[in-house]
Structure 1
């Protein structure tokens, strides 16, 4: 998994509107990248809505915000429109970026083993260097976790 001190991986993914978003567009800005397992599922919805509710606080601290999952562009668009998110949701159906960040991992639920996204949030500085990894994301206070120790 990507760790503190690592460079933001280069990527280009489609957002909920089918428009390409390149990682290079975030250089020069602080960036929050949050990975979530599946659009429109209860915990992911709580996390994404919490971040949306606090987007002005995040932007006040200079952060850009982007969410990434393996959902299709169509599913991301439905999720985005349903809740009126004020940030992009990116589609990584091929798991290229999920693998670059190291969040596509073996998981276990109710004794079943499968591959899936480990809910993780990464913070990057203006130079694209990872400054923090939040691996114990608490969906109800996701924004608070990001804003902890910002100053």
Structure 2
């Protein structure tokens, strides 16, 4: 597994994925807009729910600041639909079952858990600017408190 983590100034890899409704969502749909793409390991788990709800609760502020939000996980579309309904999520959740997009964004790789090493999704957040270039790339982020930290890192007022 090569380390293909993105850094500020890189061109964001193009992608098209299905959302929780089965519709295709592409990065190009957001051309000319700032987009926060966050990768999370598994819908309906405690950490991922905390993070998704933090984005949900601050969506209005992010929108007012000119950002769109996309959540990406290896979960199938039907599980994302359940997650969105259960947690009343208000932004697109995208299914990356073969983790090709996560790999392109450097969000898939070696993980360690309880002494075991395996490949999996690395909780990551990539901020893409209006020109399609990476402004911020954060890897191995913590679910709790990440959204507030991201707002501070972007120089945005507290939510």
Question: What TM-score do you get using the length of structure 2 for normalisation?
Answer: 0.91
Q: Which of 14, 19, 29 in structure 1 is aligned with 2:18?
A: 14
**Residues 114-129 of structure 1 mapped to structure 2, 5 A cutoff:** 114-129=118-133
Q: Give me the whole-angstrom Cα distance separating, in 1, the residues matched to 2:127 and 2:149.
A: 11
Structure 2 alignment gaps of length 5 or more: none
Aligned residues between the structures: 151
Matching of residue 90 in structure 1 with residue 90 in structure 2: no
Structure 1: tracts of 5 or more residues without a match: none
* Number of the residue aligned with 2:76: 72
- Does the CA contact (< 8 Å) of 2:13 and 2:105 recur in 1? yes
Query: Is the CA contact 2:18–2:24 (under 8 Å) kept in the aligned structure 1?
Result: yes
CA RMSD of aligned residues (A): 1.1
Mean CA deviation greater in 138-147 or 11-20:
138-147
- Name the TM-score, length of structure 1 as normaliser: 0.95
Mean Cα deviation higher: 135-144 or 13-22? 135-144
Report the 3-state secondary structure (helix = DSSP H, G, I; strand = E; otherwise coil) of the residue aligned with 2:54. helix
Which of 50, 56, 61 is 2:54 aligned to?
50
